[in-house]
Amino acid sequence: MAATSQGLDDFIQQLKAPRFIKIFVGDQTEPYEIPESMLVNASDYFARAIKHENSMGGSEPGVLRFKEDGELLEGWKVLLYWIVHRDLPRQYQEIVFTEKPKSLEMVQTWVLGDRYLLPELQDSVVVELLANSLNEWFAEDHVELYSMLQISPVGSKLRRLLAEEAILWPTSGSKARTWVQYLEEQNGVFGLAGSLLAAHEAFTQHNKTFPRVMDDLRKRMPAWQEYLMGSWPRKFWIFRDLREADMDPDDIDWIQKQKVT
């Protein structure tokens, strides 16, 4: 949820003399600089952080440090882009993929959205992850998937999606045994066994699939909503770029009727 709207006088003053906040991630020595007003309006977390910036950045005014996020640096880049543009970078959107998407970076971004109270960002990311899954592009191998599981909050919608991915695609042969055995042998993911069990039960309940990957778009899209924190992203490509999509006209008409703005 975005921070409470500021007063008109404060807003006009910021237009005259905008203040920039320096953000250091991990052990960075060169900061990212972003207008204070954008951070404040992005989330209540950043509004409070700026209000108490001295306690977060030492004695330096206008500085915020996120040292614990050093391993999520790529996710921070996407987060900052989204704060400025309220959209994901074009190369992260399924409709323009020309190569395997960067699911790990997108998972990092979702985690940061969860950490810093940006549900709209989380939803923008998760619909792309769902599209990745639909195209069997989600993870390169079990090691990459494990890296995603490591940073996913237990009990979250993201953890549910990742656990399902561990069950969904490698469903036969030695690859399946490799993925599942590898994940079950890892001790670094809190709650992993329970997450995999819940995913397997749902997989079995739906005749060895999940509704979110069904061919029928009108069954698939309502299932996707179960993974959203709120409603469909305002700039979701499936609404914005329908003319570019190779879809049945009746399905396009149905999708347009589902749009929430």
Element (H, E) at 9: helix 8-16
Asked, for residue 256, whether it belongs to a domain, the answer is no
Q: β-pairing, 32-35 with 63-66?
A: unpaired
User: Which amino acid, 43?
Assistant: S
First-last CA distance in the chain: 16
Residues of the chain with pLDDT under 70: 1-6, 11, 14-15, 17, 54-59, 94-101, 135, 137, 169-188, 234-261
38-77: pLDDT as tens digits: 999 999 999 999 888 755 555 678 999 999 999 999 999 9
For residue 35, give its domain range.
21-72
Domain count along the chain: 1
Asked, for residue 47, whether it belongs to a domain, the answer is yes
Asked, for residue 44, whether it belongs to a domain, the answer is yes
The pTM of this model reads 0.82
Residues 6 or more apart in contact with residue 240 via CB below 8 angstroms? none
Asked, for residue 225, whether it belongs to a domain, the answer is no
Asked, for residue 45, whether it belongs to a domain, the answer is yes
How many angstroms separate the Cα of 28 from the Cα of each of 25, 32, 64, 171, 211?
6, 9, 12, 42, 43
Mapped to the 3 state alphabet, what secondary structure does 179-241 carry? HHHHHHHCCCCCCHHHHHHHHHHHHHHCCCCCHHHCCCHHHHHHHHHHHCCCCCCCCCHHHHC
